């Protein structure tokens, strides 16, 4: 196969080999339905409960507080729609941010169409939410605060523990979309004052189409998916046993390796960021310089289109992204980059590289070798760049 440098781990990750080994028997020989009473079914049930323990342990939660879902999007929908449905007599106001994933933003819009009021908090130029600002917009009718733990585009990590503290001081339920954070940075739902947390398998080395939600004991929340009695009658549907087994193993491995992997990726990330900034003039880092995911590098290049950069990178076997996978394909610039205060053309000229467990230093060196000439070549075709160079003379 031709050389492939995968630097889009925020879009999805490969399933780890050890994870695959654990999954396979649940497709072929251990295929029983966990609800069946015979032993074949009970083998599957045991596997699901083991995975639940693995997920709970990674978050500092109790196993009774973990439910499996069909991914991050379902967990986000459940959190917002479930809490608002349960507390609609108490109030109709929710608080979130301008930089959430569409799973939160589009659900919020749906809630607005159904009588709820939503405050979308702004962020500073690094993508950080202000805790003071949050406290100012709380109303007596506020029933839910939903703020992501780490942003999928720019990697900025939000002050979740402080946000949770404020939510609890005011008796408000606190949800965090931690899809980009789980398995990548340390999390403790108790220390961080989190009531509900969303996570997804395919962002941490487990299969796509499987996620989980943590719901603190006693949290008022309605059900989203109705049907059978699975997941202690709170989430219907026959369990995706192989993927659940995969998530359990992947999250366990990620937590075991976390300390070392955070160090390793931070070094590689900073080598990539600094290397690009040094080699390419008129390039700027997006997101927080230090409070950011260990694997995230997001750079704006003046005078080029991110999409063109991606095409030329792809011809060199490099997979990257310009914004989030959901927004590429549309011409709208990323809502996250606009919220940082970037101009439309700056947002269009941004490229995201996200490193993962498979990324090596050679991969980073290869990108640092290939990227600068690509930007140079594209700029030579840009009339705006020509004007800029002439003006400088």
Ligand X SMILES: *Cc1c(COP(=O)(O)O)cnc(C)c1O
Q: Which residues are catalytic?
A: 326
Q: What is the nearest approach in angstroms of ligand X to the Cβ of residue 389? A: 38
Binding mask 179-218 for ligand X (x = CB under 6 A): xx-------------------x-xx-------x-------
356 binds ligand X (CB under 6 A): no
Quick one: which of 43, 44, 52, 72 contacts ligand X (CB under 6 A)?
A: 72
**Closer Cβ to ligand X, 6 or 303, answer by number:** 6
**Closer Cβ to ligand X, 156 or 300, answer by number:** 156
Distance CA 377, CA 285 (A): 21
Say if residues 299 and 287 touch (Cβ distance below 8 Å).
no
**Closer Cβ to ligand X, 92 or 359, answer by number:** 359
Quick one: which of 8, 65, 158, 177 contacts ligand X (CB under 6 A)?
A: 177
Place of tokens 């251990």: 30
The sign of the dihedral angle between the CA atoms of 19, 21, 23, 24 is: positive
107 binds ligand X (CB under 6 A): no
Residue 148 β-bridge partners: none
Residue 156 β-bridge partners: 292
Q: What is the nearest approach in angstroms of ligand X to the Cβ of residue 352? A: 12
148 binds ligand X (CB under 6 A): yes
- Residues sharing a CB contact under 8 Å with residue 85, sequence separation 6 or more, in sequence order: 222
Instruction: Count the site residues for ligand X by CB under 6 A.
Output: 15
Q: What is the nearest approach in angstroms of ligand X to the Cβ of residue 391? A: 40
Say if residues 149 and 180 touch (Cβ distance below 8 Å).
yes
**Closer Cβ to ligand X, 153 or 231, answer by number:** 153
Q: What is the nearest approach in angstroms of ligand X to the Cβ of residue 200? A: 3
Q: What is the dihedral of CA 71, 77, 78, 81, to 10 degrees?
A: 180
Q: Is 201 exposed, middle or buried (0-12, 13-18, 19+ CB in 10 A)?
A: buried
Q: Which two tokens stand for residue 143?
A: 């029933």
Place of tokens 């990108």: 367
Q: What is the nearest approach in angstroms of ligand X to the Cβ of residue 377? A: 31
User: What residue ranges bind ligand X (CB under 6 A)?
Assistant: 71-73, 76, 101, 103, 148, 152, 177, 179-180, 200, 202-203, 211
């Amino acid at each position: 196969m031709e050389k492939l440098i995968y630097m889009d781990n925020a879009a999805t990750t490969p399933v780890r080999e050890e994870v695959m080994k654990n999954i396979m028997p649940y497709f072929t020989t251990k295929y029983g339905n966990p609800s069946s009473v015979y032993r074949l079914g009970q083998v599957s049930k045991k596997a699901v409960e083991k995975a639940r323990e693995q997920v709970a342990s990674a978050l500092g939660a109790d196993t009774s507080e973990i439910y499996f879902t069909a991914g991050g999007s379902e967990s986000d929908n459940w959190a917002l729609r479930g809490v608002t449905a349960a507390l609609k007599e108490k109030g109709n106001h929710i608080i979130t941010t301008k930089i959430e994933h569409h799973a939160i933003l589009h659900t919020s819009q749906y809630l607005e169409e159904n009588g709820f009021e939503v405050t979308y908090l702004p962020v500073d130029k690094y993508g950080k939410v202000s805790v003071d600002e949050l406290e100012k917009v709380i109303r007596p009718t506020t029933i839910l605060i939903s703020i992501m733990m780490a942003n999928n585009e720019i990697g900025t990590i939000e002050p979740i523990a402080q946000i949770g503290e404020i939510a609890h001081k005011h008796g408000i339920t606190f949800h965090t979309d931690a899809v980009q954070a789980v398995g990548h940075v340390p999390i403790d739902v108790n220390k961080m004052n989190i009531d509900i947390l969303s996570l997804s398998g395919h962002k941490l080395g487990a299969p796509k189409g499987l996620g989980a939600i943590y719901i603190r004991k006693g949290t008022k929340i309605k059900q989203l998916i109705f049907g059978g009695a699975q997941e202690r009658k709170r989430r219907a549907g026959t369990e995706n046993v192989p993927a659940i087994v995969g998530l359990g193993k992947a999250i366990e491995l990620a937590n075991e390796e976390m300390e070392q992997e955070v160090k390793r990726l931070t070094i590689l990330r900073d080598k990539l960021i600094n290397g690009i900034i040094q080699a390419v003039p008129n390039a700027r880092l997006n997101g927080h310089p230090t409070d950011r995911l260990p694997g995230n590098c997001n750079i704006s290049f003046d005078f080029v289109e991110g999409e063109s950069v991606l095409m030329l990178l792809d011809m060199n076997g490099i997979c990257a992204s310009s914004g989030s996978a959901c927004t590429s394909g549309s011409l709208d610039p990323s809502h996250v980059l606009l919220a940082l205060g970037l101009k439309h053309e700056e947002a269009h000229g941004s490229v995201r590289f996200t490193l993962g467990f498979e990324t090596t230093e050679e991969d980073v060196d290869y990108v640092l070798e290939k990227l600068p000439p690509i930007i140079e070549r594209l700029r030579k075709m840009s009339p705006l760049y020509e004007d800029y160079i002439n003006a400088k003379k």
